[in-house]
């Protein structure tokens, strides 16, 4: 493969998958992908090599050969291909204790591509420009009446314009990912209640966003986006099977199996916020009563404190959280922690994940408080199991986890070594897509 793919002459557009694990001390259920010698599997092998470099970088060719069980010549050809299109960079290993020339090591090129991640919550839209290794280059936020799709479209276009004006290499924008509160597919509880984009009936506004920006748009439930972001760049890099609990205005969840999000029959799996958990409890917007989200969510907190929006009061709330000076806040934390303890037990007994990862837009200090109050956890199938991972793991990207996850959507499947994604249809750049085993697809895609 030579360098005539037009990488710098067109916008490279990829799909949305990638599955990281850390090189050392991965959990016992972490899946290690291997290459194949079949000639038709060249795109799969490229993904395998790209994935292992991303997770263990820097890596020499020998390291790659040992990790993926491909021949030295195959690995040499693949790394040459990936260097030629700018996805990885090569450099001599410093301080290598070998005779002669130090070996060449490969790393992901952070500037090989950027994507825009947009998060939508009731009352606001926020976004970030993210590079290929998960670094947030710039961010922006705007308040918006999210029940009005015209205003939402104008807000998203404004955010994209602001972010791209700060990009040093805007021609390398791979796409836009949008994370929204679910469920999204048409159900009895889609777009119903103050924790959703109330009043929406479809996602046609995302087609308009794609048309206006001339970029591919990918969308997902915010919990799925957050889970993929944690899997690719966050605390779940070493975990093959985990449950992601999205703690934001509402409460969502996503089960990740073999580093892929489980969607369910209609794409609405693990909508944990609407599990009735308190018999005869508070009426929920979904039509049931006692739903988990009514007790464990930022909307529930604002109700307890009798305020319109917790975001305007976070400094004061967090100070009161620390000194215990607000009885209403303390009481809410106690009951929310009880519901969190119940939710953890339910998740573990039904799904037996290696860990429960908590992310979302809630401040980390608040989540830490609830986790502390939830101890000791209920007995479950995870109790007493020897595991290198704690039962509850907190995101290190807490308030950024949604937009980081959204930004992951345009690149996730390009980075995935799973064989089945090679058959899914994607948009051009044709030459790059062919190299990575993809085909042109639709304007707006949902993961």
Q: What values do phi and psi take at 386, rounded to 5? A: -70, 115
Determine whether 194 is exposed, middle or buried from the number of CB atoms within 10 Å of its CB (0-12, 13-18, 19+): middle
Distance CA 275, CA 256 (A): 19
Residue 46 near residue 14, CB atoms below 8 Å: no
At 224 the three-state DSSP class reads helix
CA distances to 131, 154, 214, 218, 396 from 427, in Å: 20, 25, 12, 11, 32
pLDDT of residue 117: 96
Residue 92: the pLDDT is: 81
Q: What is the DSSP letter of 291?
A: B
Which residues are within 8 A (CB) of 8 and not within 5 positions of it... i.e. 6 or more apart? 86, 171
Residues 182/402, Cβ–Cβ less than 8 Å: no
Which residues of the chain have a pLDDT value below 70?
Answer: 1-41, 95-100, 167-171, 413-443, 445-447
Q: Is the separation of the CB atoms in 163 and 128 below 8 Å?
A: yes
- Report the Cα 123 to chain-centroid distance in Å: 22
pTM for this structure? 0.82
pLDDT of residue 124: 92
**Where in the chain are the domains?**
240-399
pLDDT tens, residue by residue, 349-391? 999 999 999 999 999 999 999 999 999 999 999 988 888 789 9
Q: Residues 171-188, buried b or exposed e (16+ Cβ, 10 A)?
A: ebbbbbbbbbbbbbeeee
Structure tokens at 287: 């039509």
Tokens, residue 2:
């030579």
Q: For the chain, first and last CA: distance in Å? A: 31
* Site of tokens 């777009």: 191
Tell whether domain 240-399 is in CATH 1.10.10.10: no
Task: Give tens-digit pLDDT for 47-93.
Answer: 889 888 988 889 999 999 999 889 999 999 999 999 998 889 998 87
Give the bridge partners for 142, in sequence order.
125
Of 202, 333, 338, 224, nearest to 271 by C-alpha is 224
Query: Tell me, what's the pLDDT at 365?
Result: 94
CA 447 to chain centre: 11
| Secondary structure (3-state) at 263 | coil
Of 175, 259, 263, 187, which is closest to residue 442 (Cα–Cα)?
Answer: 175
């Amino acid at each position: 493969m030579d360098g005539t793919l037009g990488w710098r002459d067109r916008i490279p557009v990829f799909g949305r998958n990638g599955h990281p694990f850390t090189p050392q001390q991965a959990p016992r259920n972490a899946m290690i992908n291997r290459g194949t010698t079949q000639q038709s599997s060249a795109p799969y092998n490229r993904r395998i090599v790209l994935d292992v470099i991303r997770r263990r970088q820097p890596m020499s060719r020998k390291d790659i050969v040992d990790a993926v069980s491909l021949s030295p010549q195959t690995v040499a050809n693949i790394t040459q291909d990936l260097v030629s299109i700018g996805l990885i960079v090569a450099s001599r290993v410093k301080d290598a204790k070998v005779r002669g020339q130090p070996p060449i090591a490969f790393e992901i090129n952070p500037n090989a591509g950027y994507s825009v991640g947009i998060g939508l919550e009731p009352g606001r839209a926020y976004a970030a420009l993210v590079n290929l290794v998960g670094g947030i280059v710039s961010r922006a936020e705007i308040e918006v009446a999210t029940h009005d799709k015209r205003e939402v479209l104008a807000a998203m276009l404004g955010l994209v314009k602001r972010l791209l004006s700060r990009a040093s290499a805007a021609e390398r924008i791979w796409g836009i990912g949008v994370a929204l509160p679910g469920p999204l597919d048409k159900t009895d509880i889609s777009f119903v209640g103050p924790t959703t984009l109330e009043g929406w009936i479809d996602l046609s506004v995302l087609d308009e966003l794609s048309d206006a920006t001339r970029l591919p748009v990918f969308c997902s439930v915010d919990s799925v986006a957050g889970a993929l972001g944690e899997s690719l760049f966050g605390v779940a890099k070493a975990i093959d099977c985990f449950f992601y609990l999205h703690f934001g205005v509402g409460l969502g969840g996503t089960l990740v199996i073999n580093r892929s999000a489980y969607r369910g029959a209609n794409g609405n799996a693990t909508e944990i916020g609407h599990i009735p958990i308190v018999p005869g409890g508070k009426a929920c917007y979904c039509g049931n009563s006692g739903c988990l989200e009514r007790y464990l969510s930022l909307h529930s907190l604002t109700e307890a404190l009798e305020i319109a929006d917790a975001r305007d009061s976070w400094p004061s709330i967090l100070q009161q959280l620390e000194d215990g000076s607000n009885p209403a806040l303390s009481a809410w934390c106690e009951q929310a922690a009880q519901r969190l303890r119940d939710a953890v037990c339910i998740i573990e007994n039904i799904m037996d994940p290696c860990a429960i990862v908590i992310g979302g837009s809630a401040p980390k200090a608040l989540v830490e408080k609830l986790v502390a109050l939830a101890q000791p956890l209920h007995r479950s199938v995870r109790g007493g199991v020897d595991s290198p991972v704690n039962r509850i793991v907190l995101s290190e990207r807490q308030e950024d986890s949604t937009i980081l996850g959204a930004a992951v959507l345009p690149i996730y499947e390009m980075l995935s070594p799973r064989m089945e994604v090679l058959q899914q249809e994607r948009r051009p750049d044709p030459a790059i897509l062919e190299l990575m085993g993809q085909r042109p697809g639709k304007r707006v895609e949902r993961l």
